[in-house]
């Protein structure tokens, strides 16, 4: 893929945010050293379009470089990463917390899928919250709830 990918780092006191973008693979440069020495690392994944197995390997190298006492907070997790978090053990280490993620909802009227930003507390008993289109019609979660939301209960120990 020719899509640009990368990482941007924003320091704010004893916290740092890394904003990842594009296709995360073995070509992306993620500087783990820029994430060390902070109490909290915020990981903003809003602009990530895809991750492959080599990108996952690279991300694990970054996670292993972050101090075990550092809090990791994931924001704006796209469906491609949600899938990997559900499948790959260790993607969510014990010090990690999911703050927000996108879920695909289908609109029967427009025949389009819309990504809706959710928070973990909106998922009750493994069920997706009701979402409506601009006419007040129910949207349908375009995923199997039990599988899609399973990442919320999977943390490494």
What's the pLDDT tens digit per position in 11-67? 999 999 999 999 999 888 899 889 999 999 999 999 999 999 999 999 999 999 999
Q: Provide mean pLDDT across the span 114-125.
A: 96
- The total of other beta-carbon atoms located within 10 Å of residue 45's CB is 22
Percentage of the chain exceeding pLDDT 90? 82
Q: Are 54 and 82 in contact (CB under 8 A)?
A: no
What strand order describes the sheet that includes 15-24?
Answer: 6-12, 15-24, 40-51, 71-75, 96-98
Per-residue confidence at 157, pLDDT binned at 50, 70, 90? Answer: low
Biggest distance spanned by C-alpha atoms of the chain: 50
Structural domains of the chain ordered from first start: 6-104+116-121+144-153 (3.30.750.24)
Check: CB of residue 15 under 8 Å from CB of residue 38. yes
Distances (CA, A) of 127 to 38, 124, 148: 35, 5, 10
Check pLDDT > 80 for residue 155: no
Number of other CB atoms surrounding residue 102 within 10 Å: 19
| pLDDT at residue number 117 | 98
Residue 156: predicted pLDDT = 58
Confidence (pTM): 0.91
- Going from the C-alpha of 89 to that of each of 43, 60, 116, 157, the distances in angstroms are 18, 11, 25, 10
Whether the pLDDT of residue 9 is over 60: the answer is yes
pLDDT at residue 124, rounded to an integer: 94
């Amino acid at each position: 893929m020719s899509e640009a990918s990368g990482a941007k780092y924003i320091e704010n006191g004893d916290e740092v945010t890394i904003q990842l973008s594009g296709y995360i693979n073995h070509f992306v440069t993620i500087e783990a050293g820029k994430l060390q020495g902070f109490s909290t690392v915020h990981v903003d994944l809003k602009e990530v379009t895809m991750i492959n197995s080599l990108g996952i390997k690279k991300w694990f190298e970054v996670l292993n470089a972050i101090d075990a006492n550092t809090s990791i907070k994931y924001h704006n997790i796209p469906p491609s990463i949600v899938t990997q978090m559900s499948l790959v053990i260790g993607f969510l280490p014990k010090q990690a917390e999911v703050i927000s993620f996108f879920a695909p909802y289908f609109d029967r009227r427009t025949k389009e899928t819309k990504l809706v930003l959710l928070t973990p507390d909106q998922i009750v008993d493994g069920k997706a919250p009701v979402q409506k289109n601009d006419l007040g019609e129910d949207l349908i979660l375009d995923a199997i709830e039990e599988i899609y939301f399973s990442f919320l209960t999977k943390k490494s120990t």
